[in-house]
Copies of this chain bind each other. A is one copy, B any other.
C-alpha cells in the first residue's frame, strides 16, 4: 500500500495527514501555527505534525512514498520555495528542502488553495470531473482550477486569484488596496467588517459575545455558524450579502471557464455546507449565459472539510511520484 503525508500550512493553524492513494486518512495531527517563531521554528512545528500523524497511523516515516505541502501565498513549486507568504511573514523560504531534511523525504510544494482544489478533485466533491473551478472563502478569497484533469498554475504560478476579479469598482476597499474585488465583498474578513459596521450603527448582534466566549479576536467560521443558529439578524444579513456576491462571481466564472463543477471551500463553506451554497448557486445560475435546464453544471461545497488541503498535498505528492 502506497502511503503519503500531506500538510496544509496556514497562518492560523496547520494540519498533517497520512493517507493512502485513495485519500483514506490513517492518521492526522494539527496545531496552532506559532507565529512568534521564525521560519525554522515553524518548519519544526510542521515536521512534528507529520511525525505525530505517522505515529497515529502506526507507520514509520520511511514507509512514505512522498510528502506534499500546501503553503499560503506565492510559491515556486519547481524550486520548492515559498516566495512570499504575508500571513507567515515569510519571503523566499526554501520550505521543501528544509522540511525534507527533517523528514528525510522529498517534499513537493504547492499553493494552499490550489492544493485544496487538487484535493477535492482527487478525493472530494470534484472527483471524476475533468474540469473544476474552486472558490475558497477564508481570510481572503482564493481559487484555482483543474483543466483536463490537471491543476492549471498559470504563467507565473499565479492562476486562480479570483478574489481579485472586480465585481463593482465602487465597492468596498479590498485588502489589496483597490475597490470592489470579490474578496472585498465576501471574505470572512469582509463579513466581519460588515458585522462591526452594523454594530457601530447600534444594531444588536450576538457575534461579539460569541467571540468572547470562544476567546477569539476574529469572527471565525464557528462564530458565524453559531450566530446563524441563534438567528442573529445582523449575521443573517451579512452572510446573505457575501453569498450574493459569491453568486455573481461563480456565475461569471462559469461563463468564462465553462467548468463541470464549481466547488465552494474554506472554513465557512465546510461548516455551513448546503445552506451556504444554495443561495450562491441560485444567484450564479441566474447569470448563466448558456441555459442549463438539466443542471449539468454543478455548484457544490467541498466534501473533505478541514482535510481538503492536507489530502490535496497527499495528491500532489502522489502525482509527483507516480
Main secondary structure of the interface of A (DSSP, over half): loop
Interface size on A, residues (CB 8 A): 41
Q: Give the interface segment out of A40-48, A164-172, A205-213.
A: A164-172
Which residues of B sit under 8 angstroms from A154, Cβ to Cβ?
A: 131, 257-259
Would you call A166 and B252 a contact (CB within 8 A)? Answer: yes
**Assembled-state Cα–Cα distance A178/B248 (Å):** 11
Closest Cβ of chain B: how far from A167's Cβ, in Å? 7
Q: Answer whether A256 and B160 are a contact pair too, CB < 8 Å, given A131-B155, A178-B287.
A: yes
Known contacts A158-B258, A176-B289, A256-B161; is A248 also within 8 Å of B166 by CB?
yes
Q: Are A255 and B162 in contact (CB under 8 A)?
A: yes
CB 8 Å contact bits of A134-162 with B (1 = contact, 0 = none): 00000000010001000011111111111
Chain B residues in 8 Å Cβ range of A170: 168
* Contact of A173 with B by CB under 8 A: no
Chain B residue numbers with a CB within 8 Å of A162 are 255-256
For residues 235 through 272 of chain A, which have their beta carbon under 8 Å from a beta carbon of chain B? 248, 251-253, 255-260
Residues of A within 8 A of B (CB): 74, 130-131, 143, 147, 152-162, 164-170, 176, 178, 248, 251-253, 255-260, 286-287, 289-290, 296-297
